[in-house]
Amino acid sequence: MTIGKKGDWVRIYRIILTPEERAPQVPEDTKKVSLEMWDKGFLLEDEANIGDEVEVETYIGRKVKGKLVEINPYYTHDYGKCITELLYIGRQTRELIKEETLND
């Protein structure tokens, strides 16, 4: 979906501070980039395309402006890939306490 309609749940993006505006104490690598922000809300424009400057009403009712980046945003974080390096731990420690039980 690339066109959002009024009332759609969307994600917006905005630059809060440009590199020149950043705090004096930030490290060099951080100072080279902008401070960016992402927020979500219900679209207030009648219609908007991804990339358009829009205004949203956040879940608690605040009005926030930014660039439309996602419509019906959802989470994709998961339980990761198989980390084979972890597979020995359960067997190893179970074996260790099994011996302990026998010694009792």
Point out which residues bind another protein (CB under 8 A): 16-17, 21-23, 25-27, 29-30, 32-41, 58-62, 75, 77-83, 85-86, 88-90, 92-94, 96-97, 99-101
6: closest CA among 39, 40, 41, 44? Answer: 44
> Taking the complex as a whole, how short is the minimal distance between the CB of residue 45 and another protein, in angstroms?
16
> Taking the complex as a whole, how short is the minimal distance between the CB of residue 46 and another protein, in angstroms?
21
Q: What gap in Å lies between CA 35 and CA 73, rounded to an integer?
A: 21
H helices within the chain, ranges in order?
28-31, 87-103
- Would you give the DSSP letter of residue 39? E
> Taking the complex as a whole, how short is the minimal distance between the CB of residue 55 and another protein, in angstroms?
11
Between 2 and 82, CB nearer to another protein: 82
67: closest CA among 51, 85, 46, 89? Answer: 51
Between 30 and 49, CB nearer to another protein: 30
Between 7 and 73, CB nearer to another protein: 73
Structure tokens at 10: 């969307």
- Would you give the DSSP letter of residue 11? E
Between 46 and 82, CB nearer to another protein: 82
